[in-house]
Amino acid sequence: MFRRSAMVALLVPGLAVLAFGFLYPVAATLAAPPDGDPATVARETAALLSDPYLLPVIARTIRVAVVTTAACLLLGFPVAYLISRAPARWAGRLLALAIFPLMLNTVVRTYGWLVLLGSNGLISDVSAALGLGRPQLLYTETAINLGLVQLFLPIMILSCYSSLSQQDPRLEEAARGLGASPGRAFRQVVLPLAMPGALVGCTLVFAGAVTAFTTPQLLGGARERILSTLLYSRVNVSLDWPAASAVALVMTVLVLAVSVLSGRLTPKGSAQ
Amino acid sequence: MIRRPFLTLLAAVAFTIMLGPVVILLGVAFTAGSTLTFPPEGLSLRWFGAALAYQPFLDSFRTSVVVALTSTLFALALGIPAAVALHRGSLPGRRVLENLFLSPVIVPELVLGLALFQQIMVGLHSTATAALVLGHTVLLLPYAVRVAGASLALADPRLEEAARGLGAGPVRTFFSVTLPVMRPGILSAAILAFVTSLNNVPLSLLLTGPGVATLPVEMLNYVQSSFDPVVAAVSVLLLAGSVAVALVTERLVGFTKVFGR
């Protein structure tokens, strides 16, 4: 349609903004914050990776992301499967209901947990009424997991649904017709064919859980730090920029590693 | 009869976890009491009054809307031409260029926020609003390139060739063939980008200045410092707004088409 030089010109403004607003600041901050140099960040990163107080933070971040991903898959896949096999009218409504929370900000979505899990919250009241005392629910790793599962379920449902809705339901019926039990047809036909979508979902949820901020801040607080909330306190409370850069570096590498790994596992040409 | 009791049970748990906390929110927002309790202690609208009288929420809402509108426009203005070049340009290294445009997705938003705070706000003395618009434009650019580009990938390039063959110049072809073909994609990208910007916390968190913060960040700060139900009332107002946006989206392009990406 256009000459090649004109096509290149169409890309230039976008590339310029990416360079100035993304590549340059991120590279500069990860390499050397304003009051430090690469050696400082390297020293801080080494300190972070050998600090007995900070290693549990990294371990907790990974643990929370793994648990969240597994729970989202366990709960989200059935939703996606049932929607993909429901009559069209219902399927549309259920899918809309599952996606709707994505329109709300994370404070709105997490707020309800503060009420449920608080020291005078609903669950605590029920537990006290049953004579079980008032367990600490808020500011625990379980609270973070619950909040993150709520946050990322829609994404897992969508990813699984994109694979499941492309599957021909007659394949499952054929397996049943050939004598497979419903459970066996599900395990041997439905699940393997839905793997690409489930894998994309797991990658997105894992990366999202590693980098989520609002929910771990509100539900884990200073008691149960993960990398993102640690980064924030390094910037805002201790004002230690090289240390913040070190945390940012570890977080970025973690997310990149998972993306690369899942890219290796995903067959070429499958839907993203 | 339920055909798959085990899967149905898991799905019911999933919906309870997704929507339960939002239902709790409604109860808390309409409470007559002054603590976060559910079920509410009587019904009243007092916290809605309190929310609308709290100046920082009004200011930050305006900031959020201005940032979301501006950065959505910028992202579309930069992303649509890029999508056209990527899909119609037969350029060498197309995949590399496309990945470059999608790359902001890979870096944690909190890290991008820290980078913009240090390098642009502190380093170049920019205002918080300018840093917010720059950051959100970068955040939304991948949506614009991918979503607007998707409609282009589906369209037949021979339409444009036909227009050229019939004597239209490249500019006229773009405005009377390419752009109309991209319309649903552009609309989807615009809605998705606007909502994404309006809801963002991690990127906006550090990009604050005197009297400047986005609404979600202001809400987060409020929740961390006081324990009254004002934020629940704000949340219900946002919920109502989101329902309205969802209904309009459903009319225009299809709700699940836009948000199901």
Facing residue for A25 by CB, picked from B115, B137, B260: B115
Is residue A201 within 8 Å of residue A76, measured between CB atoms? yes
pLDDT tens for residues A25-57? 999 988 877 666 777 888 888 888 888 888 999
Mutate to test the interface with A, among B47, B143, B215, B256 (most CBs of A within 10 A): B256
Q: Would you give the end-to-end CA distance of chain B in angstroms? A: 33
Facing residue for B24 by CB, picked from A25, A115, A211: A115
In A, which residues are within 8 Å of B260 by CB distance?
Answer: 95, 99, 158, 161
The pLDDT score that the predictor gives to residue A162 is: 92
**What 3-state DSSP class applies to A252?**
helix
Pairwise CA distance, residues B115 & A27, whole Å: 8
In A, which residues are within 8 Å of B112 by CB distance?
Answer: 22, 25-26
3-state helix, strand, coil in chain B (%, to 5): 75, 0, 25
- CA-nearest residue to B194 within chain A is A103
| Residue of A5, A180, A141, A157 lying closest to A81 (CA atoms) | A157
Tell me if B4 and A182 make a contact (CB, 8 A cut-off): yes
Q: How far B33 CA lies from chain A's nearest CA (Å)?
A: 14
Pairwise CA distance, residues A56 & A61, whole Å: 8
CA–CA–CA angle B25, B26, B30 (5° rounding): 115
In B, which residues are within 8 Å of A232 by CB distance?
Answer: 110, 205-206
Q: Which domains does chain B have, with CATH numbers?
A: 68-224+250-259 (1.10.3720.10)
pLDDT tens for residues A256-271? 999 888 878 765 544 4
- CA-nearest residue to B113 within chain A is A26
**What 3-state DSSP class applies to B31?**
strand
Interchain contact A164–B (C-beta under 8 A)? no
Name the A residues in 38-67 with CB < 8 Å from any B CB. Answer: none
Residue type, A110: T
Is residue B166 within 8 Å of residue A178, measured between CB atoms? no
Pairwise CA distance, residues B98 & A17, whole Å: 15
Comparison of pLDDT for A5 and A165, the residue scoring more = A165
Q: Which helix (H) or strand (E) holds A153?
A: helix A141-164
Cα B183 to the center of its chain, rounded Å? 19
**What 3-state DSSP class applies to B43?**
strand
The pLDDT score that the predictor gives to residue A259 is: 86
Sign of the torsion formed by the C-alpha atoms of B86, B88, B90 and B91? negative
| Residue of B150, B115, B155 lying closest to A18 (CA atoms) | B115
Q: Which residue has the tokens 């790994």?
A: A261
Mutate to test the interface with A, among B17, B98, B225 (most CBs of A within 10 A): B17
In B, which residues are within 8 Å of A114 by CB distance?
Answer: 36, 223
Per-residue confidence band for A228, with pLDDT thresholds at 50, 70 and 90: very high
Is residue B171 within 8 Å of residue B106, measured between CB atoms? no
Q: Name the DSSP class of B103.
A: G
Contacts (Cβ under 8 Å, ≥6 apart) of A225: A57, A60, A233
Tell me if A95 and B256 make a contact (CB, 8 A cut-off): yes
Per-residue confidence band for A135, with pLDDT thresholds at 50, 70 and 90: confident
Listed as ranges, residues in chain B with pLDDT below 50 are 1
CA–CA–CA angle A5, B159, A14 (5° rounding): 35
Facing residue for A22 by CB, picked from B97, B138, B199: B138
Cα within 13 Å of Cα(B118), Cβ side? 29
The pLDDT score that the predictor gives to residue B120 is: 93
Per-residue confidence band for A90, with pLDDT thresholds at 50, 70 and 90: very high
Tell me if A235 and B245 make a contact (CB, 8 A cut-off): no
Size of interface A-B (CB pairs under 8 A): 285
Residue type, B30: F
pTM: 0.92
The pLDDT score that the predictor gives to residue A35 is: 67
Is residue A206 within 8 Å of residue A156, measured between CB atoms? no
In B, which residues are within 8 Å of A78 by CB distance?
Answer: 7-8, 10-11, 14
Cβ neighbour number for residue B134 with a 10 Å cutoff: 22
In A, which residues are within 8 Å of B86 by CB distance?
Answer: 11
φ, ψ dihedrals at A105, nearest 5°: -75, 165
Q: Which two tokens stand for residue A174?
A: 């054929």
Mutate to test the interface with B, among A18, A95, A165, A204 (most CBs of B within 10 A): A18
The pLDDT score that the predictor gives to residue A1 is: 52
Cα A19 to the center of its chain, rounded Å? 26
Tell me if B81 and A10 make a contact (CB, 8 A cut-off): yes
Facing residue for B119 by CB, picked from A28, A113, A154: A28
Q: Which two tokens stand for residue A82?
A: 């049932």
Is residue B185 within 8 Å of residue B150, measured between CB atoms? yes
CA dihedral of residues B239, B240, B245, B249 (deg, nearest 10): 90
Facing residue for A82 by CB, picked from B8, B100, B111: B8
In A, which residues are within 8 Å of B36 by CB distance?
Answer: 114-115, 118, 121
Interchain contact A88–B (C-beta under 8 A)? no
Q: How many residues does chain B have?
A: 261
The alpha carbons of chain A give a radius of gyration, in whole angstroms, of 23
CA–CA–CA angle B228, B229, B234 (5° rounding): 130
- CA-nearest residue to B107 within chain A is A252
The pLDDT score that the predictor gives to residue A271 is: 41
Complex ipTM value: 0.92
Q: Where are the alpha helices (DSSP H) in A119-211?
A: 122-129, 141-164, 169-177, 182-185, 191-211
Pairwise CA distance, residues B167 & A150, whole Å: 56
Pairwise CA distance, residues B137 & B200, whole Å: 12
The pLDDT score that the predictor gives to residue B74 is: 98
